[in-house]
Amino acid sequence: MRPTVHLALIGAGIAGLACATALQRAGLEVSLFDKSRGPGGRMSTRRGADWQCDHGAQYFTARDPAFRAEVARWQRAGVAGVWEPRLGTFDGASPQGRESTVERFVGVPAMTAPARYLASALAVHALTNIEQLRQQTHGWQILSAEQGWLETRFTAVLLAVPAPQAVPLLQQAAPELAALAGSAVMRGCWALMLRFAAPVDLPFDAAFVNQGPLRWIARNSSKPSRRGEETWLLHACADWTEAHLEEGSESVAAALLSAFGQLGGPAPQDWTVHRWRYADTEPALHEVCAWRPDIGLGLCGDWLNGGKVEGAWLSGQALAEQALRSFARC
| pLDDT recorded at residue 14 | 98
Please tell me whether residues 66 and 88 are part of one structural domain: yes
CATH of the domain at 91: 3.90.660.10
Residue 1 has a pLDDT of: 35
Pairing relationship of beta strands 80-83 and 104-107 according to DSSP bridges: antiparallel
What is the distance between the alpha carbons of residues 207 and 212, in angstroms, rounded to a whole number? 14
Q: Where are the alpha helices (DSSP H) in 183-277?
A: 238-243, 249-262
Whether 295 and 170 share a structural domain: yes
Predicted confidence at residue 154, as pLDDT, reads 98
Same domain, 78 and 124: no
The arithmetic mean of pLDDT across residues 58-87, rounded, is: 98
pLDDT given at position 257: 98
Higher pLDDT, 147 or 101: 147
Q: Please report the DSSP string for 265-317 in residue order.
A: PPPPSEEEEEEEEEEEESSPP---EEEETTTTEEEESGGGTTSHHHHHHHHHH
Residue 99 has pLDDT above 70, yes or no: no
The C-alpha atoms of residue 303 and residue 180 are separated, in whole angstroms, by: 11
Range name among 93-102, 252-261, 302-311 with the lowest pLDDT average:
93-102
Q: Do 192 and 101 sit in the same domain of this protein?
A: yes
Please check whether residues 297 and 193 belong to one and the same domain.
Answer: no
Asked whether residue 323 carries a pLDDT value surpassing 70, the answer given is yes
What residues form DSSP beta bridges with 324? none
Q: Which CATH number is 300's domain given?
A: 3.50.50.60
Q: What is the pLDDT of residue 4?
A: 84
**pLDDT tops 80 at residue 18:** yes
Question: Which pLDDT score is estimated for 100?
Answer: 72
- pLDDT top residue among 95 and 43: 43
Among 2-11, 79-88, 174-183, 267-276, the range scoring the smallest mean pLDDT is 2-11
Q: What pLDDT is attached to residue 96?
A: 74
As a whole number, the mean pLDDT across the chain is 95
Q: Are 291 and 323 in contact (CB under 8 A)?
A: yes
> What is the pTM assigned to this prediction?
0.95
Confidence of residue 94 (pLDDT cuts 50, 70, 90): low
210 lies in the same domain as 309: no
* Domain contains 97: yes
pLDDT given for residue 325 in this prediction? 96
Range of the domain at 254: 45-111+186-281
Same domain, 202 and 256: yes
Q: What is the mean pLDDT of residues 235-250?
A: 97
Residue 168: asked if its preceding bond is cis (omega within 30°), the reply is no
My answer on whether 66 and 89 are in the same domain is yes
Q: Is residue 1 part of a domain?
A: no
Output the pLDDT for position 284: 83
Angstrom distance (rounded) from CA 18 to CA 317: 6
Strands 148-149 and 289-292, how do they pair?
A: unpaired
Confidence band of 137 (pLDDT split at 50, 70, 90): confident
| DSSP helix/strand/coil, 147 | coil
Which pLDDT band, with edges at 50, 70 and 90, does 93 fall under? low
β-bridge partners, 10? 33, 159
pLDDT above 60 for 184: yes
pLDDT recorded at residue 177: 98
Contact between 269 and 195 under an 8 Å Cβ cutoff? The reply is yes
Q: What is the pLDDT of residue 328?
A: 82
23 assigned to some structural domain: yes
Residue range 276-300: mean pLDDT, rounded: 95
